[in-house]
């Protein structure tokens, strides 16, 4: 594996480029951090400091107690457990079903494949708001309202066209000879799927995880209409409870929001490293 | 990870380009070439297996998704207030749309937003990915920071951005004042409210960033070597090597970005309610109002059908254009 | 090799089943079947949920054969509540009794989502005279009553006593008319050299308040013609616009983009503002002495808009009589006291409650007088309040009018144009068959 030779460049130029890169990234990061910094700042203020004008980024006295106050005002422990259960269930379902369906669309030839793929893509373009009520009526008739069923079961039936699309494109890049060789060895299609394609697809599956986890963690409207009992609530539904009829508890809302974001951030930070590492493998030269 | 490119290696080290991926494959509108001969028994077996594997989606579609979609489509020919039975009106809703200036205005707003924000987002995600595609110290932290705005909880977003975009003391106007420009009234101004939302959308590039980072790993390093040998600068290197190789990913983002941008609804709802004076009346916001505030679900469905057709047409347009500018490793035109 | 696959798969499938079982088990159990169960739906919130607990406990105790369930539908008092509610209505899962925004009562009534309660009122011998007539008006549609108010507050004029003292101006009182009001607001407005507002005299006040005070109205008595193009309405619109653009004592659109009026008041940048009593929830945090007064008198009359918190009965309820009992209790004097007293922010919908000590003596934070209770009460007792018109298409009408008002405040239209254009649009709606 030959790398581009950097040793031939003068070291000073290298150092300058490094500094420039850091400068640009720092500036960009500062800009991108602003919205978060504001919510962090609000979360550490007293309620009456929130309205001070001009707005102050740093509170006069840091109110760390907003965090325990917010997190105990509602059973966030329970909500976190619920959200993990829900997100976890959905991700497992998606990984299994979307990969199977993507396998069908990418590695197998069968009648009607292209037409069905077109239908799949078309479903991506349908706004969810318009199917909201008919779907709700459907699940009502099934008696699934007030459970997690309407949220989790469809995940096991590849209800997410985006991930099917993603995985299919990825599967398309894995060399066919692997399939052929396996088939000559007498392997069935399921074995090809499970023992060859899936292991090679770890990077794509990690990508699906990176997209799916925050999406499910923060999902709001769908969970709202199907979950009626407080004990079933997720963290994002819990956050909305800080908005009362006549006012909103801003400091508590922000404290809870920041706390709720942390798991997602940690998951992302851990995954992104593995993810970039992992993909330097499949079918590349150099 | 390659979406469109494939540089598979045989076990003995010889590269063999294959015709996999590409814009045509995306829509599956063309049959593959170069299919080896198969016995009819294998084909039947494969046919069977194909259907078996796609069965979860088919079942899910029939049971959970297809019904509601068909229902929504059928509802577009009715007058339905959600709470009572629908009343058939045929094409009445569609005719109403032609006389409805707000529907057209909303479509305009959404189109302008899409036309500006999608290319900007794609470009920004690309440049950022270039900058973050290395292993300098703290790159993981940088990446996480750029990803951060995409996971801010919805409830907090509106008030945060009101502060950032505040005319007198918001940080944007502050930064602008540093370079001598008096910032506009952003969300309070009929001219600048939409640009404000476009600006907000630039903070949501975390997802595209991930895809780009992944794609950059797939650019073969021997191309960079060749460029270095030719004495290419950083700029030329990326313009001539990285950009062409990344065009399939860019295409993917454009399509996904287009679909998402045309369906934007939550931000304008929370932040401007479509104002001031309908400057930010996005199409789906108008649909929502008709569906849930005006008891006109039928009309809302009709509007959505129109939006759907619009999205499909624009997507096909982009895919068509892709033949011109998307570069595939294995060109097999001749 | 086949065996290995099977075992691994088995583990995975088993794990999946365990997760599934956990999900199902996580669902709450059904309630007992012996008693009638009725539910009450409202968005809910951290504080609101707590406030309802004593109400439901008291009800369940006094009604052993009915089990009332508090069904908070979540989502805050935000758009999603309505979506949620309507989806549930369509799906047949709506609460028996629920809260809905007051502008929607007529629309729900027209579409038979809710049922009129006249018969129940008669059967239960419920006296309506303890309710404020202004609130009840918003529930009258087609000569029937469609709900009861659980709370609801008129708008009064909150003021920052410290700023008034500083400027040496007497606090607002019943002698105030537009002239005095304007004078005070002008004296209380300060701008910096750049013309930017450092302190503003007053909030904008709802446009409809000014229209009513000038003698105008939105719809005529029969509800079939829009009167916004009439001279009186235009006069009101002119005053509203002048406050912002001519006299510049009220926040401009740009000012509002910095902070809402509520926040400006709390920051000490707004000397007066028109708010419902519920605004106390935030205002109690103020760091200056504040109070409230009745709104100033317009050229034709005193009038402001009042909020209402509707409680309505779902037409799909399985137990309408029991549901009515719950509605009745929630809106009763005791029910209201149980709910409102702990926090004190809402305004009761009952005359008797508004005269009880727990209401009249309420103080919070730096509140400097009883105005925060009595100003609101006087407005509604004297009949100086009205609600939005009851019309089944009110949301559409309201949206159309708001567009015009936006243009008015931006200075893009004269009051005449605004009034006429609004009237034209609304008349178009009114002419269309339902």
Taking an 8 Å cut-off on Cβ atoms, the answer to whether A236 and B154 are in contact is: yes
- Please judge whether C396 and B292 are an interchain contact, meaning their C-beta atoms are less than 8 angstroms apart: no
> Is beta strand C97-99 parallel, antiparallel or unpaired with respect to B78-79?
unpaired
Which is more confident, C293 or B189?
Answer: C293
Q: Which residues of B fall within a CB distance of 8 Å from C400?
A: none
- Whether the CB of B82 is below 8 Å from some CB of chain C: the reply is yes
- Given an 8 Å threshold on Cβ–Cβ distance, is C407 in contact with B186? no
Q: Tell whether B168 is within 8 A of chain C (Cβ).
A: yes
What's the CA gap between A208 and C385, in Å, rounded? 57
> Which one of A137, A146, A244 has the shortest CB-CB distance to C90?
A137
> Quick one: pLDDT at residue A127?
86
Arithmetic mean of pLDDT, C166-190: 94
Separation of alpha carbons C238 and C419, rounded Å: 10
Nearest-CA residue of chain C relative to B154? C75
C342/C337 Cα distance (integer angstroms): 8
Kindly determine whether residue C46 and residue A145, on different chains, have CB atoms separated by under 8 Å. Answer: no
Query: What digits encode the pLDDT tens for the residues A115-174?
Result: 898 889 888 888 888 888 889 999 999 999 889 999 999 999 988 888 898 888 778 777
A partners (3+ CB pairs within 8 A) are B, C
> Which of B269, B275, B293 lies at the smallest CB-CB distance from C406?
B275
Does the distance separating the beta carbons of A101 and B146 come in below 8 Å? Answer: no
Closest Cα in chain C, distance from residue A171 (Å): 22
- Which positions in chain A touch C263 (Cβ < 8 Å)? 50-51, 53
Q: Which residue has the higher pLDDT, A195 or A55?
A: A195
Q: How far is C372 from chain A (nearest CA, A)?
A: 15
- Phi, psi (rounded to 5 degrees) for B71: -60, -45
Smallest Cβ–Cβ distance between C287 and the set A48, A96, A243 belongs to: A48
Chains that touch C (3 or more CB pairs under 8 A): A, B
What is the maximum alpha-carbon separation in chain B?
75
Tell me, what's the ipTM? 0.83
Any CB–CB contact under 8 A between C346 and chain A?
yes
Of B186, B275, B294, the CB nearest to C396: B294
Is there a contact between A36 and B171 if contact means CB atoms under 8 Å apart?
A: no
Helices within B187-296 (DSSP H only): 193-201, 206-217, 221-229, 234-237, 243-262, 266-271, 283-288
Q: How far is B52 from chain C (nearest CA, A)?
A: 18
B153 contacts A239? CB cut-off 8 A? yes
Mean pLDDT across the stretch C327-348? Answer: 89
Inter-helix orientation angle B154-164/A11-43, to 10°: 110
> Length of chain B, please?
334
Q: Which of C151, C264, C267 to mutate to test the interface with A (most CBs of A within 10 A)?
A: C267
pLDDT in tens, chain B (334 residues): 333 333 333 333 333 333 333 333 333 333 444 445 555 766 888 888 889 999 999 999 998 988 899 998 999 999 988 778 888 998 999 999 998 999 999 999 999 999 999 999 999 999 999 888 887 888 889 999 999 998 888 767 877 888 888 888 787 888 888 888 878 888 888 899 999 999 999 999 988 888 888 778 777 777 788 887 887 777 787 888 888 888 878 888 898 899 999 999 888 888 888 878 889 999 999 999 998 888 888 999 999 999 999 999 998 888 888 888 877 654 333 2
Residue of C nearest to B166 (CA): C258
Chain C environment of A230 (Cβ under 8 Å):
49, 72
Q: Which 8-state DSSP code applies to residue B295?
A: S
CB-CB under 8 Å, B295 with C111: yes
For the cut 60, the answer to whether the pLDDT of residue A281 exceeds it is: no
- Chains touching chain B at 3 or more Cβ pairs under 8 angstroms? A, C
**Residue to substitute from C84, C87, C258, interface B, most B β-carbons within 10 A:** C258
Q: Is the peptide bond before A54 cis (omega within 30 degrees of 0)?
A: yes
Q: Write out chain A residues lying below 8 Å of B143, CB-based.
A: 272
Higher pLDDT: C164 or C126? It is: C164
**Residue numbers in B near A276 (CB within 8 A):** 213-214, 217
Residue A188 binned pLDDT confidence (cut-offs 50, 70, 90): confident
Does C258 sit within 8 Å of B278, measured CB to CB? Answer: no
Q: How far is CA B54 from CA A115, A195, B66, B93, C10, in A?
A: 13, 18, 15, 36, 21
Q: Identify the weakest region by mean pLDDT among A80-84, A212-216, C24-28, C74-78.
A: C24-28
Q: Which of the four pLDDT bands, split at 50, 70 and 90, describes residue C12?
A: low
Smallest CA–CA separation between A113 and chain C, in Å? 27
Q: Helical H runs in chain B?
A: 23-27, 40-60, 67-75, 92-98, 101-132, 139-147, 154-164, 171-178, 193-201, 206-217, 221-229, 234-237, 243-262, 266-271, 283-288, 297-325
C-alpha B147/C-alpha A118 separation (Å) is 31
DSSP code of B188? G
Q: Is the predicted pLDDT of residue C57 greater than 90, yes or no?
A: yes
Closest Cβ–Cβ partner in A116, A173, A275 for B6: A173
Q: What is the mean pLDDT of chain A?
A: 84
The structure's pTM equals 0.85
CB contact under 8 Å between B83 and C196, yes or no, is: no
Residue C269 with chain A: CB contacts under 8 Å: 53
Tally C-beta pairs within 8 A across B and C.
68
More confident residue, C8 or A281: C8
Q: Pick from A18, A100, A116: which is nearest to B136 by CB?
A: A18
- Cα separation, C410 vs A19, in Å, equals 48
Instruction: Tell which C residues from 25 to 84 touch A, by Cβ distance under 8 Å.
Output: 26-28, 43-49, 71-78, 80, 83-84
Distance CA C387, CA C306 (A): 5
Q: Does residue A286 carry a pLDDT above 90?
A: no
Neighbours of C309 (CB within 10 A): 24
Span B33-61, pLDDT tens digits: 444 555 576 688 888 888 999 999 999 99
- Chain A residues with beta carbon closer than 8 angstroms to that of B295: none
Does the beta-carbon distance from B287 to A129 stay under 8 Å?
yes
Contact C80 A247 (CB under 8 A): no
**Residue C181's pLDDT band (cuts 50, 70, 90):** very high
Q: What is the pLDDT of residues A201-245, one digit of tens each?
A: 877 788 888 888 888 888 888 888 888 788 888 888 888 888 887
Do the chains contact at A249 and C345, CB–CB below 8 Å?
no
For residue C75, the model assigns a pLDDT of 66
Dihedral, CA of residue B311, residue B314, residue B317 and residue B323, to nearest 10: -70
Does residue C29 surpass a pLDDT of 50? no
C89 Cα to chain A: minimum distance (Å): 9
CB contact under 8 A, B83 and C89: yes
The minimum CA-CA distance between A207 and chain B, rounded to whole Å, is 8
Residue B127: its pLDDT value, please? 92
Q: In chain A, pLDDT over 70 holds for what percent of residues?
A: 93
The pLDDT, as a whole number, for residue B97 is 92
pLDDT bracket for residue C325 (50, 70, 90):
very high
Q: Which residues of A210-248 are buried (b: 16+ CB within 10 A; e: fewer)?
A: bbbbbbbbbbbbebbbbbbebebbbbbbbbbbbbbbbbb
pLDDT digits (tens, 9 = 90+) for C339-379: 988 887 888 988 998 898 889 888 888 888 888 999 999 99
Chain A residue numbers touching B157 (CB-CB < 8 A): 35
CA distance C190 to chain B (A): 16
């Amino acid at each position: 594996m030959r790398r581009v030779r950097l040793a031939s460049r003068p070291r000073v130029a290298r150092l300058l480029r490094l500094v420039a890169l850091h400068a640009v990234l720092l500036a960009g990061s500062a800009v991108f951090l602003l919205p978060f910094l504001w919510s962090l700042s609000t979360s550490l203020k007293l309620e009456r400091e929130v309205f001070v004008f001009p707005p102050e980024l740093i509170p006069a006295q840091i109110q760390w107690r907003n965090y325990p106050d917010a997190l105990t005002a509602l059973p966030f422990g329970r909500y976190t457990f619920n959200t993990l259960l829900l997100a976890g269930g959905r991700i497992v379902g998606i990984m299994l079903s979307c990969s199977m369906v993507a396998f069908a669309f990418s590695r197998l030839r069968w009648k009607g494949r292209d037409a069905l793929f077109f239908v799949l893509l078309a479903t991506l373009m349908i706004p969810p708001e318009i199917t909201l009520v008919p779907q709700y009526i459907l699940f009502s008739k099934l008696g699934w309202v007030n459970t997690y069923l309407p949220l989790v079961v469809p995940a096991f039936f590849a209800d997410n066209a985006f991930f099917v699309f993603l995985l299919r494109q990825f599967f398309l890049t894995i060399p066919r000879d692997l399939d052929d060789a396996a088939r000559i060895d007498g392997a069935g299609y399921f074995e090809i799927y499970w023992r060859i394609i899936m292991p090679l697809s770890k990077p794509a599956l990690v990508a699906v995880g990176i997209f799916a986890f925050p999406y499910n963690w923060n999902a709001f409207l769908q969970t709202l209409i199907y979950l009626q009992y407080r004990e079933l609530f997720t963290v994002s539904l819990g956050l909305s409870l800080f908005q009362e009829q006549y006012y909103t508890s801003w400091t508590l809302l922000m404290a809870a929001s920041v706390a709720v974001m942390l798991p997602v951030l940690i998951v992302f930070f851990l995954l992104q490293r593995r993810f970039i590492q992992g993909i330097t493998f499949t079918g590349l030269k150099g | 990870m390659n979406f469109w490119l494939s540089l598979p290696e045989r076990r003995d080290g010889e590269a063999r380009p294959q015709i996999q991926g590409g814009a045509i494959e995306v829509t599956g509108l063309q049959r593959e070439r170069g299919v080896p001969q198969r016995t009819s028994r294998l084909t039947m077996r494969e046919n069977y297996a194909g259907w078996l594997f796609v069965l979860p989606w088919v079942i899910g579609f029939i049971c959970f998704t297809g019904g509601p979609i068909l229902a929504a489509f059928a509802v577009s020919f009715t007058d339905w207030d959600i709470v009572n039975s629908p009343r058939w009106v045929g094409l009445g809703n569609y005719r109403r749309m032609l006389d409805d200036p707000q529907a057209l205005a909303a479509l305009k707003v959404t189109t302008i937003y899409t036309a500006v924000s999608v290319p900007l987002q794609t470009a920004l995600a690309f440049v950022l990915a270039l900058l973050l595609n290395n292993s300098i110290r703290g790159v993981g932290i940088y990446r996480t920071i750029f990803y951060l705005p995409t996971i801010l909880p919805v409830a907090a977003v509106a008030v945060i951005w009101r502060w950032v975009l505040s005319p007198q003391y918001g940080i944007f106007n502050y930064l602008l004042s540093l370079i001598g420009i008096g910032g506009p009234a952003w969300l309070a101004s009929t001219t600048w409210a939409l640009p404000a939302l476009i600006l907000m959308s630039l903070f949501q590039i975390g997802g595209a960033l991930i895809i780009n980072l992944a794609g950059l790993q797939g650019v073969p390093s021997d191309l960079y070597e060749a460029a270095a040998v030719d004495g290419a600068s950083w700029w030329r290197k990326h313009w001539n090597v990285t950009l062409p190789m990344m065009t399939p990913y860019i295409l993917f983002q454009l399509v996904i970005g287009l679909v998402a941008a045309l369906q934007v609804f939550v931000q304008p709802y929370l932040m401007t309610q479509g104002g001031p004076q309908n400057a930010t009346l996005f199409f789906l916001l108008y649909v929502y109002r008709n569906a849930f505030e005006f008891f006109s679900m039928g009309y809302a469905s009709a509007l959505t059908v129109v939006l759907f057709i619009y999205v499909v047409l624009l997507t096909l347009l982009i895919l068509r254009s892709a033949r011109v500018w998307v570069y595939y490793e294995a060109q097999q035109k001749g | 090799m086949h065996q290995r696959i099977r075992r691994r798969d088995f583990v995975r499938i088993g794990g999946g089943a365990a997760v599934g079982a956990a999900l199902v088990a996580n669902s709450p159990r059904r309630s007992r079947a012996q008693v009638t169960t009725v539910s009450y739906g409202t968005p809910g919130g951290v504080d609101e949920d707590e406030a309802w607990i004593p109400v439901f406990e008291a009800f369940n105790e006094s009604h052993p054969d009915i089990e009332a369930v508090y069904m908070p539908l979540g989502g805050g008092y935000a758009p999603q509540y309505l979506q949620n509610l309507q989806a549930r209505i369509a799906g047949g899962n709506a609460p028996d009794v629920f809260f809905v925004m007051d502008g929607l009562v007529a629309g729900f009534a027209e579409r038979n989502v809710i049922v009129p309660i006249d018969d129940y009122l008669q059967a239960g011998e419920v006296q309506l005279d303890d309710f404020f007539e202004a609130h009840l008006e918003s529930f009258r549609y087609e000569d029937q009553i469609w709900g009861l108010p659980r709370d609801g507050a008129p708008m009064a004029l909150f003021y920052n006593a410290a700023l008034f003292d500083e400027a040496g101006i007497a606090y607002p009182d019943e002698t105030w008319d537009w002239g005095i009001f304007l004078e005070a607001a002008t004296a209380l407005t300060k701008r910096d050299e750049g013309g930017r507002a450092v302190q503003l005299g007053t909030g904008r006040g709802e446009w409809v308040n000014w229209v009513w005070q000038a003698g105008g109205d939105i719809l005529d008595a029969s509800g079939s013609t829009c009167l916004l193009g009439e001279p009186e309405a235009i006069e009101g619109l002119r005053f509203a616009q002048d406050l912002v653009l001519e006299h510049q004592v009220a926040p401009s659109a740009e000012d509002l983009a910095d902070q809402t009026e509520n926040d400006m008041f709390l920051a000490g940048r707004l000397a007066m503002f028109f708010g419902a009593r519920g605004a106390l929830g935030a205002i109690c945090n103020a760091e200056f002495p504040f109070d409230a007064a009745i709104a100033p008198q317009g050229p034709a009359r005193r009038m402001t808009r009042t909020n209402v918190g509707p409680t309505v009965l779902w037409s799909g309820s399985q137990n309408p009589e029991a549901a009515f009992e719950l509605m009745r209790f929630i809106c009763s004097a005791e029910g209201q006291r149980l709910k409102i007293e702990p926090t004190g922010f809402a305004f009761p919908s009952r005359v008797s409650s508004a005269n009880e000590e727990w209401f009249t003596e309420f103080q919070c934070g730096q509140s400097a007088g009883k105005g925060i209770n009595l100003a609101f009460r006087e407005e509604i007792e004297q009949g100086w309040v009205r609600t939005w018109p009851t019309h089944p298409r009110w949301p559409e009408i309201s949206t159309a009018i708001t567009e015009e008002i936006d243009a008015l405040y931006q200075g893009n239209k004269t009051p005449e144009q605004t009034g006429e254009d609004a009237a034209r649009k609304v008349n178009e709606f009114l002419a269309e068959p339902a």
